[in-house]
Amino acid sequence: MEGLAFPGDWRTAIMEFLRSGATPSNREEARLLRKRAGRFTLIGDQLYKNAFSRLLLKCVSTEDAEYILKEIHHGSCGGHPGGRSLARKILLAGYFWPTLQKDAAQTVATCLSCQKYHSFTHRLTEEMKASTLREWCERYDIQQHFTSVAYLQSNGQVEVANQEILRILRVRLDRVGGSWVGELPGVL
């Protein structure tokens, strides 16, 4: 994957501000940096992002981000998730960088394995739209078997379960001196 969306090390300005309070000379940039830095914490030389669902997310450099993307997408941890799923897995693993969503989408878009899979599923979906399900099944020698839906009220197991529930209720109500619900219309 060639170069992610952010140039250089995006963490430098935030880390310098958190260490020494140094801001850019441009007033607007300084205001934005102060606002943005409030979401980050510096522990030693490592920058972390305060997260809603977790305590801290480790902020990583461009090189680390590329490695994390590759490893989680198709490395030993990977299963070729889609863009949003990939970004979510990275966040759950505890990592952050500003262009995570965009870079995850780019990784999926340039993965040949993913493109073959999406091409196949798209073609299959289009074929199914073009014909009825019955015609499509016949074309691929898929045998369909239909059954009727049984009414739960006539199912013997449901009746036995209902009787057992009523028996238990009767025993409990008798113990506490309550009235029996069996006298209600439609029960038993």
Q: Is residue 51 part of a domain?
A: yes
User: pTM to 2 decimals?
Assistant: 0.57
Number of domain units in the chain: 2
Q: Are the CB atoms for 97 and 78 separated by under 8 Å?
A: no
Q: What is the pLDDT of residues 74-122, one digit of tens each?
A: 876 667 777 888 899 999 889 999 999 999 989 888 887 776 766 666 6
Q: Mention every residue, 6+ apart, whose C-beta is less than 8 A from residue 3.
A: 62
Pairwise CA distance, residues 30 & 185, whole Å: 76
Pairwise CA distance, residues 186 & 119, whole Å: 57
Whose CA is closest to 15, among 40, 35, 39? 40
Q: Is residue 83 part of a domain?
A: yes
Percent of residues, the chain, with pLDDT higher than 90? 33
> Is the same domain home to 76 and 116?
no
Q: How much is the mean pLDDT over the chain?
A: 79
Residue 28's H or E segment, with its range, is helix 27-37
> Is the same domain home to 84 and 54?
yes
| Final residue before a domain boundary, out of 90, 110, 130 | 110
> Is the same domain home to 116 and 49?
no
> Is the same domain home to 103 and 18?
yes
Q: Is residue 178 part of a domain?
A: no
> Is the same domain home to 29 and 105?
yes
Whose CA is closest to 73, among 62, 85, 64? 85
Percent of residues, the chain, with pLDDT higher than 70? 73
- pLDDT recorded at residue 154: 59
- pLDDT recorded at residue 165: 86
- pLDDT recorded at residue 122: 63
Q: For residue 100, count other CB atoms closer than 10 A to its CB.
A: 22
- Residue bearing tokens 């997310």: 57
> Is the same domain home to 87 and 54?
yes
- pLDDT recorded at residue 129: 67
Domain extent, residue 27, equals 12-110
Q: For residue 1, count other CB atoms closer than 10 A to its CB.
A: 13
Structure tokens at 82: 């889609």
| Final residue before a domain boundary, out of 69, 86, 110 | 110
Task: Tell me what the mean pLDDT of segment 53-66 comes to.
Answer: 88
For the domain that residue 63 is a member of, what is the CATH number? 1.10.340.70
At residue 6, what is the residue type? F
- Collapsing DSSP to helix, strand or coil, 55 comes out as coil
> Is the same domain home to 81 and 20?
yes
Q: Is residue 27 part of a domain?
A: yes
DSSP for residue 38:
T
- Residue bearing tokens 């799923």: 85
